[in-house]
């Protein structure tokens, strides 16, 4: 008999809990004749602009000879990139940086004695900004092939951008607003009323993350540049009256 009474009490507890949670859900979004909802707009897209940077150099104990070597290396880099299908007009070189390369000298006992001058080291950076994303991406991975020609190039990871962000943002706002409106209609219906006039709308932060990444959203907005394939999202917070 005690088992049956316990079962009945347990069943009543579940029913009462469901009623309480249902009311709590309604009161959370339905306060003083108003409904507050947050909608999400989301879209996947591919970057249409890439920026790649690298650098190369030359070393010689004579400054003029070092510059001659650097100029030759630059010609080799130019030829390599143009053969890969990149227009020369998008290749930008920085000013040449010059520094003295020294080597520390130690005594047989391991004490520092001083520095020996090795030569003048000249370095120059290269940057490519192009809509030929796949071509430049391939160059960034394969530019070390120039080692075979005696040119040591240090390649930086490419940065990926999207040139139609303004249009995308408008599209996301529209999706988020529609999502919020549908949520509000369902809550109003669930509450036994109908959706009234829109009182206010507040846009959240525009976020861009890499697709299938574990990036966290930021209060100031996340703007991923390391992934070619990206996901954009934005939230809209709407407040409706309830009839």
3-class SS letters over 12-73: HHHHHHHHHHHHHHHHHHEECCEEEEEEEEEEEEECCEEEEEEEEEEEECCHHHHHHHHHHH
The rounded distance, in Å, linking the Cα atoms of 69 and 73 is: 6
The mean pLDDT value for 100-128 works out to: 92
Residue 24 has pLDDT above 90, yes or no: no
The mean pLDDT value for 201-217 works out to: 88
What's the pLDDT at 194?
A: 86
User: What is the end-to-end Cα distance of the chain in Å, rounded?
Assistant: 50
Q: Which of 104-113, 178-187, 216-225 has the highest mean pLDDT?
A: 178-187
* Nearest residue to 180 (alpha-carbon basis) of 234, 238, 233: 238
The rounded distance, in Å, linking the Cα atoms of 117 and 102 is: 5
DSSP bridge partners of 154: 55
What's the pLDDT at 212?
A: 84
Name the DSSP class of 164.
Answer: T
Residue 32 confidence class, pLDDT cut points 50, 70, 90: low
Mean pLDDT of the chain: 86
Residue 2 has pLDDT above 80, yes or no: no
Identical topology for domains 30-46+163-242 and 50-161: no
pTM: 0.78
| CB contact set of 231 (below 8 Å; sequence gap of 6+) | 42, 43, 44, 45, 208, 209, 210, 211
Neighbours of 242 (CB within 10 A): 19
* Overall CATH class of domain 30-46+163-242: alpha beta
Domain positions in the chain are 30-46+163-242, 50-161
Give, in degrees to the nearest 5, the angle at Cα 124 between 119 and 125.
Answer: 150
**pLDDT over 70, % of the chain:** 87
| CB contact set of 188 (below 8 Å; sequence gap of 6+) | 30, 35, 194, 195, 240, 242
Residue 146 confidence class, pLDDT cut points 50, 70, 90: very high
Q: Which helix (H) or strand (E) holds 240?
A: strand 229-242
Residue 28 has pLDDT above 80, yes or no: no
**pLDDT over 90, % of the chain:** 69
Q: What is the CATH number of domain 50-161?
A: 3.30.70
What are residue 14's phi and psi, to 5 degrees? -65, -45
160 versus 6: the higher-pLDDT residue is: 160
What's the pLDDT at 155?
A: 95
* Nearest residue to 182 (alpha-carbon basis) of 12, 2, 47, 35: 35
């Amino acid at each position: 008999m005690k088992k049956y009474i316990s079962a009945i009490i347990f069943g009543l507890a579940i029913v009462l809990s469901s009623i309480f949670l249902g009311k709590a859900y309604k009161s959370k979004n339905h306060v003083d004749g108003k409904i507050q909802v947050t909608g999400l707009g989301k879209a996947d897209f591919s970057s249409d602009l890439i920026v790649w940077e690298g650098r190369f150099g030359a070393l010689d104990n004579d400054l003029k000879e070092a510059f001659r070597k650097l100029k030759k290396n630059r010609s080799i880099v130019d030829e390599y990139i143009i053969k890969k299908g990149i227009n020369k007009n998008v290749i930008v070189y920085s000013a040449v940086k010059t520094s003295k390369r020294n080597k520390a000298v130690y005594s047989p006992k391991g004490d520092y004695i001083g520095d020996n001058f090795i030569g003048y080291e000249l370095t120059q950076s290269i940057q490519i900004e192009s809509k030929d994303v796949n071509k430049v991406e391939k160059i960034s991975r394969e530019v070390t092939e120039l080692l075979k020609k005696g040119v040591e190039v240090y390649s930086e990871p490419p940065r990926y951008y999207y040139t139609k962000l303004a249009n995308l943002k408008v599209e996301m706002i529209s999706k988020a607003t529609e999502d919020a409106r549908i949520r509000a209609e369902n809550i109003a219906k669930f509450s036994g009323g109908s959706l009234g006039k829109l009182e206010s709308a507040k846009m959240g932060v525009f976020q861009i993350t890499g697709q299938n990444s574990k990036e966290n959203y930021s209060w100031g907005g996340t703007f991923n540049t390391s992934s070619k394939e990206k996901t954009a999202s934005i939230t809209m917070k709407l407040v409706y009256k309830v009839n």
